[in-house]
Chain A
Amino acid sequence: MTADRYARQVIHWGEENQQKIADAVIMIAGVGGLGATVSQLLVRAGVGKLYLVDDGIVDWPDLNRQLLYGEGDIDRQKLPLAKERLSAINSTTEISLIGGQVDKNFVMPTDLNAVADCLDNYSSRFLLDELTPEGVFLVHGGLEGDHGQVLTLQSGQSQPMSEIFAGACQPEGSIPVTPDNVVVIAGLMVNELFAILFGRPKLLNRCLVVSLADFHMAFLDV
């Protein structure tokens, strides 16, 4: 029965928190590796509304980690595919699509509880952080090879991301990204998004640095 859809998670976090998820509006910036998994987990959990932002088309190098897409999707736009697949998982989540890139002309929705930074370059991330409305939480995820990080900022309260990550490198060419690391970082991002919705973020101004090479995690306060 559809009423049982959330039965297993409600045992864990309770009806009150499930309602907070149902009432939540979250923007997913980038529906690639991180974004495909973050959006899918949020939809499965019953989030009320998602905004999806991306302007990409599906290409072969995406298929190792972008879990919403398959071989039959090559050369197709990601956003309509993502909406179709997510709606097939949970039709009760409202999904709004915002085509285009996060650039200086980007208009942020005004009804957000949180933003998930699933982008793949720092210049867009800095702009996303700058555009995030005051008081709204932004959960940043990034990864490379066996390493990755998750960090929560609150616009107006935290240091700007452009200051924290000033001097961070945007490597030339392709960044090494594996399916296992993408899913780990995406899972941590969603865990933090739930924590924010429940009113107790764990990574506010605290970067969780993850190394799959030796299963090590550490906190970096920012």
Chain B
Amino acid sequence: MIKVQFFSLLRMLLKQERIELSAIEGETVAQLLARLQKQLPTPFLHKLLDDDGRMHAGTIILVNRHNIHHLQGLQTPLNDNDVVAMFPPGAGG
């Protein structure tokens, strides 16, 4: 299983904190997001990606605590038991 966690505004938008999906061999973060969008009733991909499928600035995606910017981005491959966290941190102070 892959555990997906939603934080802050994403949690509020989706009205849930986490979801578990079966792992698919070779699946990437981008493919997982597309699968999630089919499964969840609330549109949320537009918060993360632009029309060309590139990530907006704003929400960080961590796979097993590591930001995908420092892995392979949206093409980061996922494995069984991975934890994927999505979080739009506040910038003000």
Q: With A149-B89, A167-B69, A176-B92 in contact, do A214 and B12 touch (Cβ < 8 Å)?
A: yes
Chain B positions near chain A (C-beta within 8 angstroms): 5, 7-9, 11-12, 17, 55-62, 65-67, 69-70, 85, 87-93
Give the Cβ gap from B29 to chain A, nearest Cβ, in Å.
13
Question: Main SS of the interface on chain B?
Answer: mixed
Within 8 Å by CB of B62, from A122, A211, A222, lies A222
- The answer, among A117, A145, A220, for a CB contact under 8 Å with B5, is A220
Question: Which of B17, B89, B92 is A33 in contact with, Cβ under 8 Å?
Answer: B92
Given contacts A167-B57, A168-B58, A169-B88, contact A35 B70 (CB under 8 A): no
**A131 within 8 Å of B by Cβ?**
no
The contact sample of 11 A-B pairs, CB cut-off 8 A, is A120-B93, A121-B91, A144-B90, A147-B8, A166-B60, A166-B70, A168-B60, A169-B88, A177-B93, A205-B65, A218-B17
CB-CB nearest in chain A for B93? A120
Known: A120-B93, A143-B93, A220-B5. A213 touches B12 (CB 8 A): yes
Q: How far is the CA of A122 from the CA of B67 in the complex (A)?
A: 15
Contacts of B55 in A (CB 8 A): 167
Query: With contacts defined as CB atoms under 8 Å apart, how many contacts are there between chain A and chain B in the complex?
Result: 105
Smallest Cβ distance from B92 to chain A, in angstroms?
Answer: 4
Q: Which of A117-175 contact B (CB under 8 A)?
A: 117-122, 141-145, 147-149, 159, 163-171, 175
Chain A residues in 8 Å Cβ range of B5:
218, 220
Contact (Cβ within 8 A) B93 A168: no
- Asked whether A164 and B93 contact (CB < 8 A) given A209-B7, A211-B8, A211-B11, the answer is no
Min CB distance A120 to B, Å, is 4
CA distance A164 to B67 in the complex (A): 6
Asked whether A147 lies within 8 Å of B9 as measured between CB atoms, the reply is: yes
CB distance from B67 to the nearest CB of A (A): 5
Say whether, besides A220-B5, A220-B7, A144 and B59 are in contact (CB < 8 Å). Answer: no
Q: Could you tell me if B90 and A145 are in contact, using CB atoms closer than 8 angstroms?
A: yes
Nearest CB in chain A: distance from B2 CB, A = 16
Q: What's the nearest-Cβ distance from chain B to residue A164, in Å?
A: 6
Known: A166-B69, A168-B60, A218-B17. A209 touches B8 (CB 8 A): yes
Nearest chain A CB to B28 CB, angstrom units: 17
The distance in angstroms between the C-alpha atoms of A118 and B91, with both chains bound, is 10
Report yes or no: A142 in contact with B92, Cβ–Cβ below 8 A: yes
Q: Tell me if B90 and A143 are in contact (CB < 8 A).
A: yes
- CB neighbours (8 Å) of A45 from chain B are none
Give chain B residues whose Cβ lies under 8 Å from the Cβ of A213.
12
Instruction: Say whether A104 faces chain B, with CB atoms less than 8 Å apart.
Output: no
